[in-house]
Structures are given as structure tokens and as C-alpha cells.
Amino acid sequence: MSNPGDLNDTRLQSCAQLVSVFADAVKPRAHWRIGTEHEKFGFVLPDDADSGRTPFAPPPYAPRGIGDLLGAFDAQGDGERWSGIVDQGHLIGLKGIGPRKGGSISLEPAGQFELSGAPLASLHDTRAEMAQHFDDLRSPAAALGLGFAPLGFQPLSTQAAMPIMPKSRYAIMRAYMPKVGTRGLDMMTRTCTVQVNLDYGSEADMRRKMRVSLALQPLATALFANSPFYEGAPNGLMSNRAQVWTDTDNQRSGMPRFFFDEDFGFERYIDWLIDVPMYFVMRDGRMIDVAGRSFRDWLAGRPQPGLEGLTPTIGDFEDHMTTVFTDVRLKQFLEMRGADAGSPEMMLAQSALWVGLLYDDAALTAAEALVRESAPEDYIALRAAVPAQGMGAAWQGGTLRALAGRVLAIARDGLRARAVRSDTGADESAYLDPLDAIAAGGPTQAEHWLSRFSTAWDGDVRPIFTEAAV
């Protein structure tokens, strides 16, 4: 989830005014970029000298925890790489400056550590950014006796054992989530994801990319499944993170059917979005709890408890956009949100998959044709099947492995057509190699860990932290 941003205080007077939020974000192809966000769980290293801490336990904000780690990052490069973001006196995020400009570091509700990468021109740049981030992380984390592992769901700790970060937004969500679903607190405290943010060149281009990417998110969930454990034991699922999202808050998540419609566009999205219940508004640096209130009624001037005397702004709407969690989220770009966090190679492959499918015209046209072979309802039903069945989920007389092979072939062609080469002359298509292995019958990350659990680990899940550590 994002850090608090600068509020656009332009007064909002009508729904029509909101179209510009999206229309103004349209970019020509030459300016399309790739922004990769990835999260990971912190854990106490087993050889940490502080005997008062439990090995593999999630670290608190303080002492010797996530707050100290943010402070260490803030000091890197003599303060010329990061600028601190403070919430009610607590350091809760970092904004990149200088060589880290365009990126940011934010905290998920239980201290999951997230890099929101800068908008980059190529996947080669994404690989370098990811490697740099992990290099930046290792030394200060080790000094605090901490390691970090990107996994889809916390494999060991109970919900009650997860720490809570001092971020105002999360206090509001913790109070509201149990009212609208059974798994909201698990989503907040025990999940990690990887996503890629991609641009669109017009409203029509956004529509095409939305249809393709939303339909294929369940396939991505299966390919990147990496959460087969719950509180120390196998949970019978490939992606418990994806299962959690099936009952978190269905008014603001999932695969809304109308996203597939031929007339889906900015206005229809806005009309839906302003009926999603609000969480908060920001005024004078303070977050006001208005959970459950109606943005539509506020915009229309109808009385709303907690909003008395406040006039809605463009910034309020932009904040509200961040409180919907559909599998593909429309903002000033498109966010692909269906994958578990995983190894660096797999997280890079996630970005490569969507860049290959969506950033080349021929690939996007081929992907559209493939997606149209099945009805939107088929993809929505597939979403319900893949948390448990993963790549073995049934699809059109076979399993997802056959679909994966076809999709990956299109994505590889798209990356080759981009012809963006590294210093060694390689194009971006090699980043798909881990996914080709899975499509050909190899194990997903979840299947790999289950095999380790039943063999080398002898039924003890704790080694996953050190083996998955970055």
C-alpha cells in the first residue's frame, strides 16, 4: 500500500471533473515505463545474539525492528538517497531522492517491507533496481539481527503474533475490515505480493489491456503461487494469499464483471469507484476516519458524518483510488495484483510476463484473441479454483499448463519484438525462463516448498525463511 502523498487540493465539483485524473495520465508509447513493487516478510535471524527474541519471529516496529531499519535506510548515502515520511511522529516510509529518485519504501500493516520501484524503461533496469534494493537491505537488516523473505503468506506466525505498524491508515482499516469480510486482518498482516505498474496510451488502450490482464490474473496467481503453509503446516492450498482475497472486502476487490465490457472506460470506472465505501480523508497532515461513508453522497453535498464542513478535492479522490483492491487496479496506470511475492527471479518474471503481453501491439492483439476464446465468467470461476489447485486447475478440457504455454509464447514474442537489449546484448525474453519451466511441468514455488517440507525439513516449516531469504 502506498505512502501518504501530497494532496491535490483542487476543489471537486462533479464526477465529470474526475475523468481528467485518468485522461491526463495517458502517455505516448515512447514514455511507457515499468514500475515493479515487491514486499517481503521480516524475521529474526536464528543466530541473533539477542537471546530475548524468538528465532524467525516477525520483528516489531521498535526496538531493533522495522523503525530502526527505516532509519538506517534514511541515513544511507549521507541522507542523499532517501527522504523520510513521517506519520504522527513515526517514520513510516521513505521517498527516493538523488540516485533513488522515483522509488519509495513503505510499510505494510505488520511491517512487511515494500519497495515501490521507480518508473523504468526496461526489465534490465528493473533487474538492476531489484538487486540494488536487496544490497541496500542486507547490511542494515543483519545489523539488527533481521532477515527478509518474500513469500505470499506468513508461513509460521499467528495473526495475533504479527506486529502492528504505527501508520494511521492501518488503524482505520483494522477497525473496518472485520465488518466486511472474514480475512481482512489476514490480508493486512500476513500477506505479501509483487505487482507491476504499466502505462496506457489512450482510453481504448487501457480497455484492451484491462480485459487481457484481468482475464489472465488467475493464471498469474497459479504460476506465482508461493503460500502453501499456515501457522507451521501445509494449508491444502497453493496460494493462501489469493484465498484470503476471496473474503476480504468484495465490494472493492476481485474481478468486477463490468471491467470486461466493451464500453468499459474512465467514466464507468469512476461511477463504480465513488460507490465503494470510503476509508479516510487527509486534512492538515491528519487522517480522518470516515470508513463506510459514501464518496458519491459527499460529492453531491449530502450530509456525511465525519465530513461536516469539508469539501471534496481531487486529492481526496486520488486517495480513495488507493483503497480499492481489484485484481487489476486502474489508477494513472494499470496495476497487476494477482501474484504472490517470491524469489527475485520470479518477481522479475512477473513484470516480464505483463510487459511482454501488453507493451507490444502484435502481442496484445494475440493475447486479446486468446482471451476472447472464453467468456469472462470462465475467468472469474477460474479465480476461485486456483488458490487450491494452482497449475492443476481445469481449463477448457485440460489444465492451466496448456494455457500457460500459449500465453508465455505470446509474451516472449512481445519481449523479443521490443528488442530492448542489455549491456551484453540479451533481450528481455530470458526473464520468462522460470515460467517456461513451470508451464512445461516443473514445480511452482509452492510445490517446491511442499517437497522440501516433507523431505529435507522433516515437517518443520522454519527453514523456509532462510532458504527464501533475499
Average the pLDDT over 77-95 and give the result: 93
Q: Between 51 and 130, where is the model more confident? A: 130
Average the pLDDT over 328-356 and give the result: 98
Whether 91 shows a pLDDT value over 90: the answer reads yes
Report the C-alpha gap between 86 and 89 in whole angstroms: 6
Whether 150 shows a pLDDT value over 60: the answer reads yes
What is the reported pLDDT for 50? 65
What is the reported pLDDT for 187? 98
Band of pLDDT at residue 79, cut at 50, 70 and 90: confident
CATH number at 201 reads 3.30.590.20
Whether 1 shows a pLDDT value over 50: the answer reads no
**Angle between helix 66-75 and 123-143 (nearest 10):** 120
pTM of structure: 0.97
**Angle between helix 361-371 and 344-358 (nearest 10):** 90
Please count the other Cβ atoms lying within 10 Å of the Cβ belonging to residue 9.
12
Whether 162 shows a pLDDT value over 90: the answer reads yes
Average the pLDDT over 317-338 and give the result: 97
Whether 282 shows a pLDDT value over 90: the answer reads yes
**Predicted confidence (pLDDT) per residue in 239-262, tens digit:** 999 999 999 999 999 999 999 999
Q: Has residue 296 been placed in a domain?
A: yes
Residue-averaged pLDDT of the chain:
96
Average the pLDDT over 3-10 and give the result: 67
**Predicted confidence (pLDDT) per residue in 132-145, tens digit:** 999 999 999 999 99
- Residues above pLDDT 70, as percent of the chain: 98
Q: Has residue 10 been placed in a domain?
A: no
Please count the other Cβ atoms lying within 10 Å of the Cβ belonging to residue 426.
12
Strand pairing category for 334-340 and 193-198: antiparallel
Whether 3 shows a pLDDT value over 60: the answer reads no
Whether 233 shows a pLDDT value over 60: the answer reads yes
Q: Picking from 50-59, 151-160, 418-427, which range would have the lowest pLDDT averaged per residue? A: 50-59
Strand pairing category for 90-96 and 325-326: unpaired
Average the pLDDT over 143-168 and give the result: 97
Report the C-alpha gap between 169 and 281 in whole angstroms: 10
Average the pLDDT over 181-204 and give the result: 98
Amino acid found at 84: G
Can you say how many angstroms the Cα of residue 269 is from the centroid of all Cα atoms in its chain? Answer: 20
Whether 48 shows a pLDDT value over 80: the answer reads no
C-alpha cell at 189: 498482516
What is the reported pLDDT for 394? 97
For residue 315, what are the contacts with CB-CB under 8 A and spacing of at least 6?
5, 6, 7, 8, 9, 10, 282
Whether 325 shows a pLDDT value over 50: the answer reads yes
- The CA distances from residue 279 to 111, 225, 291, 323, 465, in Å, are 20, 30, 4, 7, 34
For residue 50, what are the contacts with CB-CB under 8 A and spacing of at least 6?
64, 145
What is the reported pLDDT for 52? 87
Amino acid found at 125: D
Q: Has residue 4 been placed in a domain?
A: no
What is the reported pLDDT for 6? 56
Q: Between 380 and 284, where is the model more confident? A: 380
Report the C-alpha gap between 242 and 247 in whole angstroms: 10
For residue 252, what are the contacts with CB-CB under 8 A and spacing of at least 6?
276, 277, 323, 324, 325, 326
Q: Has residue 202 been placed in a domain?
A: yes
Q: Has residue 6 been placed in a domain?
A: no
Q: Which helix (H) or strand (E) holds 11?
A: none
What is the reported pLDDT for 5? 47
The count of domains in the chain is 1
Widest CA span of the chain, in angstroms?
Answer: 63
Q: Has residue 1 been placed in a domain?
A: no
Amino acid found at 271: D
Report the C-alpha gap between 115 and 304 in whole angstroms: 36
**Predicted confidence (pLDDT) per residue in 387-423, tens digit:** 999 999 999 999 999 999 999 999 999 999 999 999 9
Report the C-alpha gap between 104 and 82 in whole angstroms: 8
Q: Has residue 388 been placed in a domain?
A: yes
Residue that is written with C-alpha cell 542494515 in the block? 140
Q: Has residue 9 been placed in a domain?
A: no
For residue 89, what are the contacts with CB-CB under 8 A and spacing of at least 6?
none
* Structural domain boundaries enclosing 250: 15-468
What is the reported pLDDT for 49? 61
